[in-house]
Structure 1
Amino acid sequence: MEALIVFAFALLWDLLLGEPPAMLHPVVWFGRIVGLVDSHYKRRSPALNFLAGAVTAFLVVTFAFLLSILPFFAPFPLSYALAVYLLKSSFAVRSLHEHVARTMTEDPEEKRRAVSMIVSRDVGELDNSHLNSASIESLAENLNDSVVAPLFYFLLFGLPGALTYRAVNTLDAMLGYRNETYEYFGKFSARLDDALNFIPARLTVLLYLPLGAGKVLHHYRLAKFKINSDKPIAVMSAVLGVWLEKPGFYRFPGRTPENEDIKRALRVYWVIVAEWIIIVSILLATEACPCLGR
């Protein structure tokens, strides 16, 4: 029951208070380690770049693991406080809603600025429909990355699983690009993130089934563009009935996404989050998963 207590308090923290201060946020620390290595490592041959990227990933994952085991060595009640704080840092329910909600503005420039804060693509040339699409896509993809996946690994491996996943996801977000700078340096992180997200991405799809199994499965079969990230996007497109497109990469069919569809997507988001919270709570309460968060 210790894991359930930690999860309950971490969830309350998230819903009531949101994210910890940036200077005290473990995910920010992961990013600073990655940024430090990235800025100082001079690119060389593909093999050396790949090796350097793998070493970077090892350093960040090791740091995350060491952070995650601190509660095991702390006295009560500090052990519980640390566990709650670190688990909360691995997922983000409220802040994801807040970031996406800011994109619902009717002001074109404000919308463009808000969307640029949650996607990595260049939003400068996107029209209003593609800005709406980008916002909904980000919500769908991050529902997996920021909610479902970290708690999935918490269920399996306790706090070390949740924080390690978050470290790998941060590595991929910063280094996992197909360009001259990161093609080899970020390849190890990208492939590791693919491996860790393979099951959670498909689990996220299953959580959409109560909202319309037929259309969800139809769009899921259309998601053949990426290993994982297009799966949650495809099923969000299915449930909303709108097209979602990253030009040059993928497009899922439907009507044109409007500003109101972002609000609808947020309602869908909370339904999926509620389902997942209930499932996680039941599994922790019954100790039906090999969670080692004790």
Structure 2
Amino acid sequence: MLNPIILYLTILFDRLLGEPPEKIHPTVLIGKLILYLERVLPNTEGKHKILDFISGSLLVIVTILIIFIIISFIESLIISLPFYLSIPLYSLILSTTIGYKSLIEFCKAPILKIDDLEEAKKEVRKIVSRDVSNLDRDHVLSAAVESLTENITDSIIAPLFYAILFGLKGAFIYRAVNTIDAMIGYKNRRYFYFGKFGARLDDILNLIPARISCSLLILTSPLYGNFKKALLGLREVNKLESPNSGYTMAIVANALDITLEKINYYKLGSGKITKEKALKAFLAVDLTVIAFLLLYTIIFLAFSFSSSFSYF
């Protein structure tokens, strides 16, 4: 089991340092690998469905194997160092797999600028793919909170979850699959079959972390919203096409008594969204992360009494 000290340092490094430069950012490098494999592997854009599916699946498998080999080598080198060097270095590298600080900053910007609607729209364009030109104040606020709550799992909880289970390899492979889904997991002619395996694998990897995030959002809801209403959010978790993102979005929408709506796609909650309520969603994220760390610390300490102590 991964020592909780590493997780606390990981969060600390991310909040202090944020994202690394693009030239050395692991996610950017993984993205370049995916682009290269996409260029060299055949994609008939749906003309030959089985070939596209096999080719896209091969992209996923090759990417995972390369990441596994590289990160296993790096991890073994780090662990061989004295603990006073290995612990901070391990945590620093692990912090590159999460996007806690960047998630907060990008999602908070449109909310803070909401009194200037056009400026708020410029900021919200950075975090959502929908057309925001005709959005009103409420829907701009909604888009920011949707993006925030949808990404609690894949930006923070899931990488930490897989790091706990499998170390650096787990976190980086999760990040690779998540990046694959973001790049080719679309239901259009080009990627419907080519990206299907990657998209489904991302859904599978997020199943447990999304439900952990949901449970912790409910558990901590009295500190940022309403516990009973948070529970009612469970009735709306299946309103989204995604099997995972609806959990965190629906719980926060109901706990804060706000409406999160993507026009013509879904509507979660029923209350009036305001700038003040939208900002409370960030408290919900912070409390969820804290609860996750504390819960794991308790589990780790309980198991450490019956096994030998290790930092990794």
Cα shift readout 1:22-63 (whole Å, capped 9, x = no counterpart): 211111111112223335656312212111211111122223
How far is 1:220 from its partner?
1.4
1:169-184 matched pairs, under 5 angstroms: 169-184=178-193
Matched, 1:56 2:63: no
**Distance 1:93-1:197 versus aligned 2 partners, 3 A rule:** same
TM-score, normalising length: structure 2: 0.85
Matching residue of 1:244: 260
Do the aligned partners of residues 149 and 17 (structure 1) sit closer, same or farther apart at CA in structure 2, a change above 3 Å counting? same
Q: Deviations over 1:225-271 (max 9, x none)?
A: 33111111100101111111122321113223233332121122212
Deviation (angstroms), 1:172: 1.0
2:185 alignment partner AA = G
TM-score (norm 1): 0.90
What's the % identity of the aligned pairs?
Answer: 36
Name the stretch that deviates more: 164-173 or 101-110. Answer: 101-110
Unaligned runs of 5+ in 2: none
Tell whether 2:147 aligns with 1:138: yes
Residue equivalent to 1:67: 70
Amino acid at match of 2:136: D
Relative to structure 1, the CA distance from residue 267 to residue 2 in structure 2 (aligned partners, 3 Å threshold; closer, same or farther) is closer
1:129 to 135, 138, 141: 138
Which amino acid counterpart does residue 258 of structure 1 have in structure 2? Answer: T
Partner of residue 76, structure 1: 81
Classify 1:182/1:123 alpha carbon distance in 2 versus 1 (closer, same or farther; 3 Å).
Answer: farther
Q: Displacement of 1:206 after TM fit?
A: 0.6
Aligned partners of 1:241 and 1:254 also within 8 Å:
yes
What are the within-5 Å matches in structure 2 for residues 20-31 of structure 1? Answer: 20-31=20-31
Aligned to 2:289: 273
User: Does structure 1 conserve the Cα–Cα contact (< 8 Å) formed by 2:206 and 2:244?
Assistant: yes
Runs (4+) of structure 1 exceeding 4 A deviation are 39-42, 77-82, 285-288
Question: Measured at CA, do residues 11 and 253 of structure 1 come closer, stay the same or move farther in structure 2, by a change above 3 Å?
Answer: closer
Structure with higher Rg: it is 2
C-alpha RMSD of the superposition: 2.5
Query: Residues 188 and 149 from structure 1, CA distance in 2 versus in 1: closer, same or farther, beyond 3 angstroms?
Result: same
Question: Unpaired runs of 5+ in structure 1?
Answer: none
| CA–CA distance in structure 1, aligned partners of residues 245 and 126 of structure 2 | 18
* Count of residues in correspondence between the two structures: 294
Residue of structure 2 equivalent to 1:94: 101
Q: Deviations over 1:149-203 (max 9, x none)?
A: 1111122222221111111111111111111121111111110011111111111
Instruction: Give the structure 1 partner of residue 160 of structure 2.
Output: 151
